[in-house]
A and B are shown apart, each in its own frame.
Chain A
Amino acid sequence: MFEYKDFLIETDKFPLNVGPSHPATHGVLRVLVQLDGEVVVNAEPIIGYLHTSMEKYAESRTYHQAETITDRMDYVSAASNNLGYILAVEKLCGVKAPKRAEYVRVILAEFTRISSHLVWLGTHAVDIGALTEFLYCFRERELILDIIETVTGSRMTPSFYRVGGLAMDIHKDFIDKTRNFIKIFPEKVSEYEALLTKNKIWLERTKNLGIISAEDAVNFALTGPSLRGSGLKYDIRKTNPYSSYEDFDFEIPLGDTGDVYDRYFVRIEEMRQSLKIINQAIENIPAGEYLSYDEYPRYVIPPKKRALTTMEGMISLFKYGMEGIKPPKGEAYHSVENPRGELGFYLVSDGSAFPYRMRVRPPSFCNISALCKMTKGHLLADLVAIMGSVDILLGEVDR
């Protein structure tokens, strides 16, 4: 007798182009989708629409100038990028920043983690249809940007770190504003959750969608919340602590199935954990110098006060300003936990003031490769939800 499948008619695959200017691609990503009816058979990301040749450009900048380029790479979490870059340069020079600077770096990096997750949550919710969430998230993001602006002087592109410390010391206003933020933020996270976590529509649009198993996640080299959503406990802040992360007590939230909802859940919890880290850091911020000029005068710029009052400080500031620092010959790789995953910087020095080669290991670039696997067999409308949940930033993918 006949079976059901005998009545199905084989049809041609329908190619559909999504992007590069599409409200839900979070930038200029183009996805070439092959459709069978409304089901995605294959989704191939085409990248390069924001190629800025940053790696090449860094070769003609001094080590401190190249830091400003890393700002524009992952522009939602610039301070995290700066941290990765500066730690790589410090590894190259063999410099260690003082404890006070390390704590401030951690605070800023965690602030950008929260702000990045807020941008993600707002835009991801808009993609799925929850428009209110956007206004809620950006309300708190402004508070974070205010704090970052207080200490660094810039909202989105701080470039506040220097080799062996910070550009300047923090002041009381920063600490007061941070304490105020720590006080009000936990209830705001609950507010976001009240809108989404148990919302029937949200659950329908996110549960059991875009599942990626732990094994696949490792094979695709996923990192960050996309990996932890699949239940793998890998966070560089814990496995390879840098910049005094070992001093702080925090947990790594994990998902279990690896679907869109789990990735959402991981990020919401990460915001709470980041706040916990900021709280510990701001309460225990050590006193002392913010630049390790005394230990490593060869690579570290002098503090402003020293430069204006002492002769040798003045000379070295002038020298580092005009020539730039010259690390010894060699190479260094350092990776940090960006909001999107593992961000690594590989630097090669030939002994001059310019990096011979800068290579970036961007988390978004690796995470985007799993898009095809995640979307296969889902509806076209779910493509947007899955794409948003991976949290891709095209500035970082294309560089």
Chain B
Amino acid sequence: MGIEEHLGDNIITTSLDKLVSWGRKWSIWPATFGLACCAIEMMTAASSRYDFDRLGLIFRSSPRQSDLIIVSGRVSYKMAPMVKRIYDQMPNPKWVIAMGDCACSGGLFNVYSIVQGVDRIIPVDVYIPGCPPRPEALIYGIVKLQEKIAKGTIKNEEPPKVLK
């Protein structure tokens, strides 16, 4: 982030690490980006019974305001450039969840029009299997992502960059 360059490697930077990671962990804002069946389960996870908000997840309609993209559903070759573009538009730091079998590996659809796993286009942090995964599975995936974020460090991190 640039601060650690002035402070050097000491207790202040490591404490800052913890603070920043803690803050990021509890305010993951996913982009409102739904593709197919899993998007309905994603909406369900955000609704009354499962309630995403208690984990600090609030859907943002613009990729520029979000840190997380949940690829929920099958990605066709026609849609792939848009997925990549949305990912590029998100500011650093950013994370990706591949939700469902289709986004993980192509799943049921081993056909000419479907990208066999979204990790061929963008780097994925958490894979959630299931067709479609239950909202509980999605929440478990989010918890796993939080664990990953908690281990992160701000050292040598790329500054937020906006695609022109």
Contact = CB atoms under 8 A, between A and B. Distances in A.
A70 to B, nearest CB: 12
Interface of B: 32-37, 39-41, 43-44, 47-49, 61, 73-74, 76, 78-79, 82, 86, 108-109, 111-114, 131-132, 134
Given A21-B33, A139-B49, A156-B40, A50 B61 contact: no
Contacts of A48: 76, 78
Contacts of A156: 37, 40-41, 132
13 contacts: A21-B33, A23-B32, A49-B79, A49-B82, A51-B76, A52-B74, A68-B108, A119-B40, A138-B43, A157-B37, A157-B131, A394-B36, A395-B36
Given A156-B41, A395-B37, 13 more contacts: A20-B79, A21-B33, A27-B39, A28-B79, A50-B76, A51-B78, A52-B113, A53-B113, A69-B108, A75-B40, A119-B43, A139-B47, A139-B49
Contact of B34 (A27, A52, A56, A155): A27
A135 interface: yes
B164 to A, nearest CB: 19
A57 interface: yes
Contacts of B41: 155-156
Q: Is the interface of B mostly helix, strand, loop or mixed?
A: loop
A136 B7 CA distance: 51
B78 A138 contact: no
Nearest to A399: B113
B122 to A, nearest CB: 14
A52 B32 CA distance: 22
Contacts of B40: 75-76, 119, 156
Nearest to B80: A49
A76 B40 CA distance: 8
Best-buried of B40, B79, B112 by chain A (most CB within 10 Å): B40
Contacts of B78: 48-49, 51
A72 B39 CA distance: 12
Given A134-B47, A156-B41, A27 B82 contact: no
B79 A72 contact: no
A136 B43 CA distance: 13
A123 interface: yes
A139 B108 CA distance: 30
Given A72-B37, A135-B47, A157-B37, A52 B132 contact: no
A156 to B, nearest CB: 6
Contacts of A51: 76, 78, 113
Contact of A27 (B35, B48, B109, B113): B35
A123 B42 CA distance: 13
A21 B86 contact: yes
Interface string A13-49: 0000000110100011000000000000000000011
Contacts of B61: 23
Contacts of B33: 21
Given A23-B32, A155-B134, A138 B44 contact: yes
A141 interface: yes
A51 B36 CA distance: 11
A256 to B, nearest CB: 32
Q: Give the top 9 A-B pairs by smallest Cβ distance, nearest first.
A: A138-B47, A75-B37, A139-B48, A53-B111, A49-B79, A23-B32, A135-B48, A51-B113, A53-B113
Nearest to A126: B43
A215 interface: no
A247 interface: no
A57 B47 contact: no
B156 to A, nearest CB: 31
Given A27-B36, A123-B43, A155-B134, A52 B48 contact: no
A20 B82 contact: yes
A142 interface: yes
B111 A52 contact: yes
Contacts of A20: 79, 82
Contacts of A50: 35-36, 73-74, 76, 79
B112 to A, nearest CB: 6
Contacts of B47: 122, 134-135, 138-139, 142
A150 to B, nearest CB: 15
A50 B71 CA distance: 13
Contacts of B48: 135-136, 138-139, 142
Given A76-B40, A139-B47, A52 B79 contact: no
A69 B111 CA distance: 12
B85 to A, nearest CB: 9
Interface in A383-399: 394-395, 398
A162 B91 CA distance: 49
